[in-house]
Structure 1
Amino acid sequence: MRGEQNPLGLPRVAGAVVLLVDGLGASQLGQRAGHARTLAGAPGGSLDAGFPSTTAVALASLTTGALAGEHGIVGYDALVPGAGVRNQLRDWGGPMDPAHWQRRPTLFESTTSIAIGEPRHAAGGFTNAVLRGAAYRGGRTMAERFALAEQAARERALVYLYVPELDRAGHDRGWQSPAWTDALEEVDGLTAQLAASLRRDVGLIVTADHGMVDVDASGQRIAPPELLAGLAHVAGEPRCLQLHVDDDTDADAVAEAWRAWLGDGAWVATRQEVVDAGWLGEVHPEVAPRLGDVFVAVRGRTAIYLDADDPGRGMVGQHGSLTPDELRVPLRRFGAFA
């Protein structure tokens, strides 16, 4: 929109729409291409959404152009120093001030922008953290939100359209379920309509925040009590735990113990190893204390729980780790971007 050179080689446009389909991994789209011919057949390929492969992190990266180590939202659950572990999508307020906890300015603050999502999120803390600067418009159903995007695209603005229904179907029933495929077909049909409605100088990008892995009961592992000894907090999510050790516990020893338990079933790394590997980009000093002392990112169709009674064990589709099924997402182009 500014006419600047960009890594994607996109042409200059008068307006742009960015459609974020929550939970639409490139692998899943490829395996269900016959149910999404518009998306599957569009030019553009795919890209990595960033680590941890979870919504809070990825949406902040999308709207700021920065990785987790810079913007400061580092997981689904994350340690808020002095306040304990808090959910990064819901538990805003106090030390999690949207204006400061997410450290980077959003792209919406420098460009005339419209964000379209569900009405209930209009004034939420996460919205204020990652969508600040955009005028928010709410639509209850997927179809209503796409209709709002069609209207907004005529205003020569940067339009962000968020679709959560596919992700919800995946979490509830798995991405291989008929419910997930039904949601994908609806997204695909509405995307075709939106693309056809655009003026010639408006581009549309379709992408996602993460993919998904289905985890059944056989893949659920309960952490042995001895591995939890010496931990002050556990953050992250079942496919990417962030372990915070207490003052008397050595993080390297904790990492070795978890490696011994999981073997090649997980990437286990200390905070310093994660930082040195560049998984989070450059890590700002304000962000470093939010990171676990040890990261446990699982492979395969596995999830780790601390308690056999955890209600989260009913969730089928999961994400957060480093596998291509979770990290790789589509990047499809329509309209003036095609």
Structure 2
Amino acid sequence: MPLMLPSESAAARSIVGVADDLFAAVRGEGETRIRSGVLIVVDGLGAISLRAHAGHARFMTGHMAKRDVAMSVFPSTTAAALTSILTGAWPGEHGLVGYRVLDRARDRLVNQLSEWEAAGVDPLVWQASPTVFERAADAGHPSFALGVAAYAHSGFTHATLRGAEFVSVASAARRIETAYDLAARHEGAIVYCYLADVDKAGHKHGIASPEWIAALEDVDAALSRAVPEGVGVVVTADHGMLDVPPHRQSVFDETNQGMAEVRHFGGEPRMVHLYLNDDADHDRAAALWRADTDGIADVATRADAIAAGMFGPHVTDAAASRIGDLVIAARGNRALYDGTAADQRGRGMIGQHGSLTPEERQVPLIRLGALGR
């Protein structure tokens, strides 16, 4: 049985193309024309968790109507979702289909956020979809991308931010201030501002923690500064998250029949890509994994997942080669771990994402400044 996306309103927005919509407003297309545009992505901030903590985010929730949400992609993880926002392409097109995916040419898993250089992966080849910044440059518009200095020259940055001038700014508050200043000084500019603190606090401490609330309050306070006249701002996120307590972790090792068919255990704990041995019977392996994950996850073959549109309406051959032979999406607040792996540190992570729940896929889509109501 194939995986199926949960039903959602036909009017539901997608994060795919949010940056291009902002650029269209800069060009004067549509109902609103703006002098320049700022896109702020708060990594890991789901719409449901934001509204649940409205008292700690009065500015954001005060500017957020009921309809001001968008849906993340599948998998609901940073590598896939940020790339979709910034290219206007679905994961099946841009090819970043998970957190750790298989480079079949080298027969190794590649962390899509941090292992480009170590794996010898060329960002221009692996992620060939043009970015909104490249489209802006072609049209004669300046663009800037604000983040921390450590990300300035990473493979993921070259894959997703090419065409933009990278500006290193340490704190979230200073980053937003700088973004607004750049937008005010550069007519027709697109300015991208990435904020990671909420996501980091959620992974380490959980979204019910004082640390997560403090990170949320910091972002909310930073966003409350006045937007320069004529500048339009969109605040969104790549995905949300939920907390996975230790007793909801499921660990798979040699005692599970399905593991005998697995060559690489990729993806992430809430959205696993299983790459099988060359001689494996995929249907038999799927049946074994459905038995082992009964009640905690949904299992599909690669063909079924693609046919169901899980990775978008079109999947390139390159993207398809990176999708697991089996795709396993965790239900509820469950997580699945490779018990045979030497490094088990990931099992200490509390806040998680990657699967299909509303907590993970619904994100805010807040308009401020010249785009505000």
Q: Normalising by structure 1, what TM-score?
A: 0.95
Gaps of 5+ in 1: none
CA contact (8 A) 2:249 2:334 kept: yes
Q: Residues 271 and 355 of structure 2 are in contact (CA less than 8 Å); yes or no, is this contact kept in structure 1?
A: yes
Could you tell me which residue of structure 2 aligns to residue 295 of structure 1? 327
Residue 221 (structure 1) aligns with: 250
Per-residue deviation, 1:267: 1.7
Q: How far apart are the structure 1 equivalents of 2:64 and 2:32?
A: 14
Secondary structure, counterpart of 1:17 in structure 2: strand
Residue number in structure 1 paired with 2:52: 31
* Cα distance in 1 for residues equivalent to 2:295 and 2:228: 48
The correspondence for 1:244, drawn from 275, 278, 299, is 275
Aligned 8 A contact 1:240 1:321 in 2: yes
> Conserved in 1, the CA contact under 8 Å of 2:38 and 2:180?
no
User: Given the alignment of the two structures, is residue 60 of structure 1 paired with residue 83 of structure 2, yes or no?
Assistant: yes
CA distance in 1, matches of 2:135, 2:278: 43
Check if 1:109 corresponds to 2:113.
no
Answer whether contact 2:64 2:366 (CA < 8 A) is retained. yes
Deviation at 1:286, TM superposition (A): 1.8
- Letter paired with 1:46: V
CA drift of 1:57 comes to 0.5
Instruction: Give the distance between the partners of 2:296 and 2:319, measured in 1 at CA.
Output: 28
1:137 aligns with 2:167: yes
1:298 Cα deviation (Å)? Answer: 0.4
CA contact (8 A) 2:253 2:339 kept: no
Identity in percent: 45
Q: Judge conservation of contact 1:20–1:207 (CA < 8 Å) in 2.
A: yes
| In 1, Cα distance between equivalents of 2:331 and 2:228 | 41
Task: Please give the alpha-carbon distance, in whole angstroms, between the structure 1 residues aligned to 2:116 and 2:41.
Answer: 23
Q: What runs of 5+ residues in structure 2 fail to find an aligned partner?
A: 1-25, 137-141
What is residue 50 of structure 1 aligned with on the other side?
73
From 142, 145, 156, the equivalent of 1:126 is: 156
RMSD: 1.3
Match of 1:98 among 123, 129, 146: 123
Offset of residue 197 of structure 1: 3.1
Q: What whole-Å deviation, never above 9, does each CA across 1:111-168 have from its counterpart, x for those lacking one?
A: 1210000011111111010000000101112222122112112123101000000000
Question: Where does residue 275 of structure 1 map in the other structure?
Answer: 306
Distance 2:290 2:32 in 1: 48
Secondary structure of the residue that 2:74 maps to in structure 1?
coil
Partner Cα separation in structure 1 for residue 297 and residue 62 of structure 2? 34
Alignment partner of 1:234 out of 261, 265, 272: 265
Structure 1 residues 4, 95: CA separation in 2 closer, same or farther (over 3 Å shift)? farther
1:174 is displaced (CA, Å) by 0.2
In 2: Cα distance, 1:13 partner to 1:271 partner: 43
The match for 1:306 among 320, 326, 338 is 338
Aligned to 2:3: none
- Opposite residue 312 of structure 1, the aligned amino acid is G
1:95, 1:101 within 8 Å by CA — same for their partners in 2? no
* Structure 1 residue 303 displacement after superposition: 0.8
2:241 alignment partner, one of 196, 199, 212: 212
CA distance in 1, matches of 2:231, 2:175: 18
Q: Give the CA deviation at 1:106.
A: 0.2
SS of 1:3's partner is: coil
Q: Secondary structure at the match of 1:12?
A: coil
Distance 2:150 2:172 in 1: 14
Q: C-alpha separation between the residues in 2 aligned to 1:198 and 1:51?
A: 35
Pairwise CA distance, 1:259: 1.3
Map Cα deviations across residues 225-257 of structure 1 (whole Å, 9 max, x no partner).
Answer: 222111111110011100011111111211111
Counterpart contact for 2:266–2:272, Cα < 8 Å: yes
Letter in 2 for 1:268: V
Equivalent position to 2:349, from 302, 315, 333:
315
Give the SS at the match of 1:243: strand
